[in-house]
Amino acid sequence: MNPLISAAELKDRLGEVRVLDARWQLGRDDGREQYLAGHIPDAVFIDVEHELSRHGEPSEGRHPLPDDAALAEAARRWGISDGVPVVVYDDHRMLSASRAWWALRRAGLDDVRVLDGGWPAWQAAGGEIATGEVEASGGDIVLGSPGSTGTIDTAGAAAWPQTGILLDARAGERYRGETEPLDPIPGHIPGARNLPIARMLTEDGRFRPASEIAAAFDEAGADGSMPIAAYCGSGITAAQLALAGELAGRDVTVYPGSWSAWSNTPGLPVATGEE
């Protein structure tokens, strides 16, 4: 199944799908306020910081995954029911929507897609806009308990470059250690290769064609002949790289703790520059 849906297709399918609004941006806490001011009709707001993440120790990173049971409870609270397709969107280049897609997919929800281009694409397509809160009736979905499926921890990330390709989805200047606006140490995991998420997207915040995404993976050495894992700052952009991999036919394991976990774990090596 294509993990993306266009605004035009979603317009035709409103009423048949459960729409989730995952608006969130790092350093901002007004996602709900933006949602209340205008959203896709019948969309339910989901809280990235508290429902798609949990509080953890610094060594777990800024956005540790929620417990399996907590995610399952949240999914029912969002009104997800068995057999009903799910569409997730946000307003910032599909970052948080990709996190929701990845979390739900690894928990066994097959029919979940991301609105390509998000809220801006919906507006550009002339989609109807609703305001205020949508209270979903309780869903009945029974999610699986994936545990660590599809993920690696810090020890796994350290060992991965010995047998696979570890991709760093951050911007090049952060990968090289030239700047670090969020975490205590600049640089990257030794052996990791840089594949900035910006290479996956067009200027207007949509995914590039699958052939172009595949070519970018190939250029980074991630042609699918070896296992691929990805990390970023805190595990959200890495989930978007996993979605990009799905488009290109590449299976991508995610390191949820990412650089925020690595840089907060004493004694781990750090690389800088292009190596």
Catalytic annotation, residues = 232
The structure tokens 């959203």 sit at 39
Nearest alpha carbon to residue 48 among 7, 6, 98, 84: 98
Six token digits for residue 168: 């760093």
The structure tokens 């798609």 sit at 52
CB 258 within 8 A of CB 235: yes
DSSP notation for 136-149: PPPP-------TTT
Beta bridge partners of 20: 44, 88
Strand-by-strand arrangement of the 193-194 sheet: 193-194, 165-168, 228-231, 252-254
Dihedral sign from CA coordinates of 12, 80, 41, 90: negative
The three-class DSSP label of residue 259 is helix
Q: Is 51 exposed, middle or buried (CB count within 10 Å of its CB: 0-12, 13-18, 19+)?
A: buried
Residue type, 199: R
